[in-house]
Structure 1
Amino acid sequence: MPRLVDHDERRHAIAAAVWRVIATRGIDALNMRDIATEAGYANGSLSHYFSGKDEILRFAFDHVYDATNRRIAAALGEATGLAALRIFCREVVPITEETLLEARIATSLWQRAMYDEYLMAVNERALGDWRVRLIEFLDQARDSGEVLRDADIALVADQLMTLMMGAQIVGVLTPRTITAERQWAMLEALVGSIRRSAQARTSVGQADIARSIDR
């Protein structure tokens, strides 16, 4: 019997080919023939899976965020608070070959997203979800005494989002200046600005115990 074709598997393989073409040649060089060649298919066969280049780009943009989110979920495990925050950021900023590839794809598609309502909605939804996750981790950190009680959590989340998106741009354009180490140092400096010292956490914990005894 002939092997059944997994339609969804083929679409993901084509999206991966789009990633490789964009990463090596840029979005302006992207065309259906090169996508088919990179994916190992005949040019006309792409029409069985996508209506055209625009749909392929939209699927590829969706797929890049899905891939990042799956990797984040696997890396997080049971981590919470600042540990979870660091893991999350490490999977977004372009400090590895994989995250640098994703940054090249994302930044290439951002210009198109300014004029494509679908891509704009995908980007807005994905970044909105990431912001919610950062706020969740920062709230956990504040509840556990890792960060200052009066820290503006929403503002810090916005700062982190802006820093990570900016790191994707400069990490792609000026990697020799804004190195992986430099990117991480900037993130640590921002987190450090709201972090409570170990001594302060101990003092607060002792004060909480004393108050509970007094009651």
Structure 2
Amino acid sequence: MPRLVDHDERRSAIVAAAWRLLAARGIDGISMRDLATEAGYTNGALSHYFAGKDEILRTAYEYVIEATNSRIASATRRRTGRSALRTLCHELMPLTDEATLEARIAMSLWQRAMTDTAMAEVNNAAVAEWKVRMAQLWNEAVAAGELPARDIGVGVELLMTTIFGLQVTAVLDPRTTSRVDQIRLVDAILDGGP
């Protein structure tokens, strides 16, 4: 009797291999042959699960976003207002080894998103969703008297830009991006200044 193949399990294994290679080598250091070897398959076997390298990389990026969203949902579940907003920011920031690894992978994939419309759409949809949630929580915090009333749209843009900058800095120069400094920076934005 032929062995049943779990299609989703194989796709997940290939994406996990892509994650490992992206973290170790960046996007320029990955070929289909490398992906197949890392995943434990033949090069031709990958075509049964993905249309090509671009689809594998897009799926890896979607996985980064899903992992982040899962952490955000879990961490903010019992929080509201400023506490929930601050926690959401912390889950996007490279405060842990896992989040720093995800930032490293995301940075590598941003390069591809500059020329891959589908990957750019994945990125932009995730960022838009995070901004909407930030604005909702910020409004909630203002209504509860936890944050000063001000232009929330500008505040959200400042938070997202800062968080992306922290991701880049944590990957390229981790000595200057301590956990305490990152948290202090986001708190300064939330509270209206240093």
Same fold (TM over 0.5): yes
Q: Determine helix, strand or coil for the equivalent of 2:86.
A: helix
Q: Which residue of 1 aligns with 2:113?
A: 113
Question: Which amino acid in 2 is paired with 1:154?
Answer: G
CA offset digits 1:175-207 (Å, max 9, x no partner): 01122222111111111227xxxxxxxxxxxxx
After TM superposition, list the pairs within 5 Å mapping 1:3-22 onto structure 2.
Answer: 3-22=3-22
* Structure 2: gaps (5+ residues): none
Q: Which residue of 2 aligns with 1:160?
A: 159
CA offset digits 1:40-92 (Å, max 9, x no partner): 22322111101111111111111111111111111211211111112111111
Please report how far the alpha carbon of residue 6 of structure 1 lies from its aligned counterpart in structure 2 after TM superposition.
Answer: 2.1
CA offset digits 1:148-195 (Å, max 9, x no partner): 2x311111111101111111111111101122222111111111227x
Structure with higher RCO (Cα < 8 A, 6+ apart): 2
Please report how far the alpha carbon of residue 3 of structure 1 lies from its aligned counterpart in structure 2 after TM superposition.
Answer: 4.6
Question: What's the % identity of the aligned pairs?
Answer: 52
Distance, in Å, in 2 between the alignment partners of 1:8 and 1:147 is: 44
Distance, in Å, in 2 between the alignment partners of 1:114 and 1:20 is: 22
Distance, in Å, in 2 between the alignment partners of 1:137 and 1:2 is: 53
Distance, in Å, in 2 between the alignment partners of 1:122 and 1:18 is: 17
Question: Which amino acid in 2 is paired with 1:17?
Answer: A
Distance, in Å, in 2 between the alignment partners of 1:10 and 1:136 is: 38
TM-score normalised per structure 2: 0.94
CA offset digits 1:126-164 (Å, max 9, x no partner): 10000001001101101111112x311111111101111
Distance, in Å, in 2 between the alignment partners of 1:25 and 1:111 is: 13
Question: Which amino acid in 2 is paired with 1:39?
Answer: A
CA offset digits 1:97-136 (Å, max 9, x no partner): 1101110011111121111110111111110000001001
Larger radius of gyration: 1
Question: Which amino acid in 1 is paired with 2:37?
Answer: T
TM-score normalised per structure 1: 0.85
Q: Which residue of 1 aligns with 2:50?
A: 50
Distance, in Å, in 2 between the alignment partners of 1:134 and 1:157 is: 6
Count the aligned residue pairs: 193
Q: Which residue of 1 aligns with 2:96?
A: 96
